[in-house]
Amino acid sequence: MKERIKGARLEALDWKLAVAVLICLYASQMVSWIHYMPACFAAILCMQDTVAVSWKTGLNRLILTAVGGLVGIVVLLADSLIGNQWIFLLLAAAGVLVTIIGCKLVRLNYIFIRISCITFLIVIMFNRGSNGLQYAFMRLIGTLFGVLVAVLVTAAFQKLGKKKAAGLDAEKLNAARSANA
């Protein structure tokens, strides 16, 4: 039982995720163009152990959001011209394939390709008959904000970790000096 409780201990990454989500939620309450859902999703998905890896993951997240969003906009434009439910379903399936091809062209990993397809589907399913271009743009802005939060929170935690490690080293050095005196 103690092993199970010990395994459920919160790590630095867990705290970083919670802080990043809190920042995204507060920012979305104060700034109307930051949507909480894409910002929080991006912060969670891009949060890594180092700034470099968080940034690389964030760039991939921005690319996949742009690809899925752009394909979604094209499908919504085609749907607005055609206006047939059955054709829309075919456009949706074709859009998934185009999204996959677009992601492969920019060499995204397959897990990113799947997330891009989800972005595409969210754009076309929840914005049919409305302003899909605006939604896709706002989703990209929210994602960018979430990526930046993930990178900045990671950097802050790294800096705190280095200060803490330096403080522990200084304590050990002082203890050793005291023992030798």
pLDDT tens-digit readout, 34-71: 999 999 999 999 999 999 999 999 999 999 999 999 99
Closest to 63 measured CA to CA, from 176, 174, 155, 143: 143
**Cα–Cα–Cα angle for 119, 65, 151, rounded to 5 degrees:** 125
Q: What pLDDT score does 70 carry?
A: 94
Residue in this structure with the two tokens 């011209």, named with its chain if needed: 81
Q: What pLDDT score does 161 carry?
A: 76
Q: Is the pLDDT of residue 105 over 80?
A: yes
> For residue 106, what is the DSSP state?
T
Distances (CA, A) of 110 to 1, 69, 70, 100: 38, 17, 19, 9
Q: What percent of the chain has pLDDT over 70?
A: 84
Distance CA 114, CA 180 (A): 61
**Cα–Cα–Cα angle for 49, 55, 60, rounded to 5 degrees:** 115
Q: What pLDDT score does 164 carry?
A: 64
At 159, which helix (H) or strand (E)? helix 132-180
**Cα–Cα–Cα angle for 78, 82, 88, rounded to 5 degrees:** 70
pTM, entire model: 0.78
What are the sequence ranges of the domains in the chain?
Answer: 53-166
